[in-house]
Structure 1
Amino acid sequence: MAVSSDYLDFVLEQLAPVGPLTSRRMFGGVGLYAQGLFFALIDDDVLYLKGDEAMRPDFEAAGSQPFCPFPEARPMAYWSAPAEALDDGELMVAWARRAMAVAAARRKRKP
């Protein structure tokens, strides 16, 4: 569950265009926030983006895997960032903005 400082720096650089980012260490991983939204996490040097059922087919088509912190646990609503997005800053930002929209919609639904 370790996150290397090099990988964290790489991800923060890739995601910089979405606006000011903050990162918080949590449970051996790192949570990523933008505009007050928890929209991504890093675990074992893998970036996971928040998703919903509408995004699921897109994540699956891109070869992404759901985040499952423990083998017996149910997957969480985060998916590994598509491999091609890691090498394409514009594509990464597009995926991140979609993840932020999901986070914003979920926040609005909570009382």
Structure 2
Amino acid sequence: MGEKGAKMTREASQVAEELVKGLGGIEGISSKKMFGGYGIFCQKKMFAMVNGAGECYLKLNEDNKADFDAYQAPKHNRMPYALVPKEVFENKELLLTWANKAIAPPLN
């Protein structure tokens, strides 16, 4: 997501649509326009976001931190999310695996 008041871009809309479609195997996936980008939700819990530039981020937790570290994926500057590597985004099975880890509740 971008800054409050940022303009929605075609790239953001396309990536969000592609992400929701690619995660169609997970029940309860939806998207919502937010600050020039999109929040991606599962059962009303946000687990991913697409910023105005069309970059996709997944929520970080103990289950997926090592995956992002292996790709040296940059973290979002203000939120506990990391950039989904292009190779992961383009691989439907791997994207589903990563999304499921981001959706999983954090371990206490």
TM-score tier, shorter chain, comes to: 0.7 to 0.9
Structure 1 stretches of 4+ with a deviation exceeding 6 A read none
The answer as to whether partners of 2:63 and 2:101 remain within 8 angstroms in 1 is no
Distance 2:59 2:38 in 1: 14
Instruction: Select the structure that is richer in helix.
Output: 1
Identity of matched residues, % = 28
Q: TM-score, normalised by structure 2?
A: 0.78
Cα gap change, 1:64 to 1:24, in 2 (>3 Å): same
Gaps of 5+ in 2: 3-7
Q: Which secondary structure state, in structure 1, belongs to the residue aligned with residue 74 of structure 2?
A: coil
Distance 1:93 1:35 in 2: 16
Distance 2:63 2:95 in 1: 18
Distance 1:46 1:3 in 2: 11
- The one-letter amino acid of 1:51's match is L
Aligned length: 99
Distance 1:96 1:55 in 2: 9
Residue 103 of structure 2 corresponds to which residue in structure 1?
Answer: 100
Residue 66 of structure 2 corresponds to which residue in structure 1?
Answer: 57
**TM superposition shift of 1:53:** 4.8
Q: TM-score, normalised by structure 1?
A: 0.76
* Residue 48 of structure 1 pairs with residue 57 of structure 2: yes
Cα deviation 1:54-104 (Å, max 9, x = unaligned): 533320212311012xxxxxx421011122111110100000000001xx3
Q: Which secondary structure state, in structure 2, belongs to the residue aligned with residue 76 of structure 1?
A: coil
Match of 1:38 among 31, 41, 46: 46
The answer as to whether partners of 2:61 and 2:106 remain within 8 angstroms in 1 is no
Gaps of 5+ in 1: 69-74
